[in-house]
């Protein structure tokens, strides 16, 4: 196990690592906006100076082609960070919400406080993006960060361990390597925020550990994200958009389409279009394509091979595999039923089952019988169908007539609901995730303000109670937000006019 400091034993390591980060936070190192900005600028420089090294690490771990590596991880991180740097001052500035009549002379403020020491646990399927993006948000919000990369993505973990300390404050951002044992020890420590990306089973363990210290969490999990296609969708465009979302990173994407619901007629048309699209993309032998990835390790390959073997009679496209190469061909299954093994859990691989339904209502009934998904995809030109799925299903997000692309919109918070996760991030939502909004009321000792609020004091009377109720009552008329400024302006105008009138009268007397 490698950490940012030298210590005596694993247990002591974890405690001392967290204490080091806490001492840094308690000294106020991370609070100044300029410190945060400097760290983020250094991180941006790291991304820009190490594009090829990051792409190479992703190739080693997942056989990720350069285009997917750059677009889905490196450029994504760069664009998010540039936006954070541009907006940081505004995001971190205190908010001044509207106030009522009782507080018209007071300051009502919401301060943006960092939580303290944040733990970020990354995932192996997008081992750089899913680790470093939340980390940058935690830094932007003024926290110190303990990073735990996935041990399954060894090359990317090595890159982070070797490179990150060269650019960031080693007392504020510390990387911890290791597997389940080290993660378990890490979770025994007290953190102020925990951000975890991964599977639901481990997510439950993280959540349970967090509750022992009442630590707030964000859990980015997954689930079986469904796709519905109706007869108004452009089938060829649908096939391209759906299959791209399914087969990037060899299907190892938490928001990949998991299964398709459509009529028998649409299923047949989709298969024809899919066969043509996949041949154009990957050729007759996808294993030889430089643009197609591999399964992360032998254990996950064996899991997917078991699913494939259980559905051999339903394979209509693909189906070939090679254990030595950890290769599974882009595969489509037709006429799948709800009881088939492939429908038990999230697939997380390049196998796409199609289930036939009679209409949208039957599809919605099926979707609602399952746990809430991370995302729902609907392909339809009909506004009423889009509205139907939006209103009658629950999911973390919903994307109409495309897949994955909603993830790239930084103004859309990304996160699950129920079984698929807790909390959200991306863009400003990442900053907000690692920020505690501290409410503050500042009153003055002015005689006018004291006069207005003195009716709260004993001895209590019915008259005062009625007056308090009237003052506290919510009205939906004009806001009092600018009332103090208007009063000041009126007084200023009045004084100015009085002085002018006095001067005029004095000059007439002369």
Catalytic residues: 220, 254
Tell which residue, 359, 390, 362, 358, has the closest CA to residue 377: 390
Radius of gyration of the chain (CA): 29
Q: What is the sign, positive or negative, of the torsion defined by CA atoms of 170, 138, 187, 60?
A: negative
What one-character-per-residue DSSP string does 186-209 give? HHTS--SEEEEES-HHHHHHHHHH
Q: CA-to-CA distance for 258 and 347, rounded, in angstroms?
A: 6
Give 105-151 as a DSSP string.
TSEEEEEEEE-SEEEEE--SSSTTHHHHHHHHHHHHTT-EEEEE--T
Bridge partners of 397? 375
Helical axes 10-26 vs 180-187, angle rounded to 10° = 50
User: 269-290 burial, b for 16+ CB within 10 Å, e for fewer?
Assistant: bbbebbeebbeebbeeebeeee
Rounded to the nearest 10°, the torsion over CA 422, 437, 134, 426 is: 70
| Closest by CA position to 112, among listed 95, 133, 88, 129 | 95
> How many degrees, rounded to 5, is the angle at CA 281 between CA 278 and CA 284?
65
* CB of 246 closer than 8 Å to CB of 352: yes
- Cβ atoms 438, 111 nearer than 8 A: yes
Report the C-alpha gap between 382 and 276 in whole angstroms.
26
Cβ atoms of 168 and 143 closer than 8 Å = no
Q: Do the Cβ atoms of 127 and 148 come closer than 8 Å?
A: no
Evaluate whether 245 touches 379 at the Cβ level (below 8 Å). no
Asked if the bond preceding 459 is cis, omega within 30° of 0, the reply is yes
341-371 burial code (b ≥16 CB/10 A, e <16): ebbeebbbbbbbbbbbbeebeebbebbeeee
């Amino acid at each position: 196990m490698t950490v940012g400091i030298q210590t005596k034993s694993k247990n002591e390591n974890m405690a001392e690592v967290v204490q080091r980060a806490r001492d840094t936070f308690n000294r106020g190192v991370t609070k100044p906006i300029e410190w945060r900005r400097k760290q983020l600028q250094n991180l941006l420089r790291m991304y820009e100076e190490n594009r090829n090294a990051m792409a190479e690490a992703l190739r080693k771990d997942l056989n990720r082609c350069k285009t997917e590596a750059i677009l889905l991880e490196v450029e994504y991180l760069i664009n998010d960070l540039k936006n954070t740097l541009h907006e940081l001052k505004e995001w971190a500035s205190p908010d001044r919400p509207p106030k009522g009549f009782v507080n018209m002379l007071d300051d009502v403020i919401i301060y943006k406080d960092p939580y303290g020491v944040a733990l970020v646990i990354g995932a192996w399927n997008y081992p750089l993006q899913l680790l470093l993006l939340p980390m940058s948000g935690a830094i932007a919000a003024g926290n110190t960060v303990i990073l735990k990369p996935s041990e399954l993505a060894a090359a990317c973990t090595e890159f982070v361990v070797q490179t990150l300390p060269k650019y960031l404050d080693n007392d504020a951002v510390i990387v911890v390597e290791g597997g389940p044992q080290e993660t378990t020890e890490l979770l025994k420590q007290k953190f102020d925020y925990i951000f975890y990306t991964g599977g639901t089973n481990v997510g439950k363990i993280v959540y349970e550990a967090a509750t022992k210290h009442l630590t707030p969490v964000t859990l980015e999990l997954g689930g079986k994200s469904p796709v519905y296609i109706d007869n108004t969708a452009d089938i060829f465009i649908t096939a391209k958009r759906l299959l791209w979302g399914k087969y990037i990173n060899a299907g190892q994407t938490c928001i990949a389409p998991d299964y398709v619901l459509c009529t028998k007629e649409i299923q047949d048309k989709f298969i024809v279009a899919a066969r043509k699209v996949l041949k154009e993309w990957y050729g007759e032998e996808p294993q030889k394509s430089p643009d197609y990835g591999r399964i992360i390790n032998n254990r996950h390959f064996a899991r997917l091979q078991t699913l494939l073997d259980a559905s051999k009679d339903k394979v209509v496209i693909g189906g070939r595999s090679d254990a030595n190469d950890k290769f599974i061909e882009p595969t489509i299954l037709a006429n799948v039923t709800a009881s088939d093994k492939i429908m038990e859990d999230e697939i997380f691989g390049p196998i796409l089952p199609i289930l036939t339904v009679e209409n949208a209502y039957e599809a919605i009934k099926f979707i609602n019988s399952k746990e809430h998904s991370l995302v729902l995809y609907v392909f339809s030109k009909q506004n009423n169908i889009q509205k139907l799925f939006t209103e009658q299903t629950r999911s973390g997000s919903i994307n109409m007539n495309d897949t994955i692309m909603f993830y790239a919109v930084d103004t859309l918070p990304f996160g699950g609901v129920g079984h698929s996760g807790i909390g959200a991030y991306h863009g400003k939502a990442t900053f907000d995730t690692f920020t505690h909004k501290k409410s503050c009321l500042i009153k003055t000792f002015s005689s006018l303000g004291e006069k207005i609020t003195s009716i709260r004091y004993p001895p209590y009377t019915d008259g005062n109670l009625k007056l308090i109720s009237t003052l506290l009552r919510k009205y939906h008329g004009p806001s009092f937000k600018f009332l103090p400024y208007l009063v000041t302006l009126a007084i200023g105008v009045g004084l100015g006019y009085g002085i002018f009138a006095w001067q005029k009268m004095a000059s007439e007397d002369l």
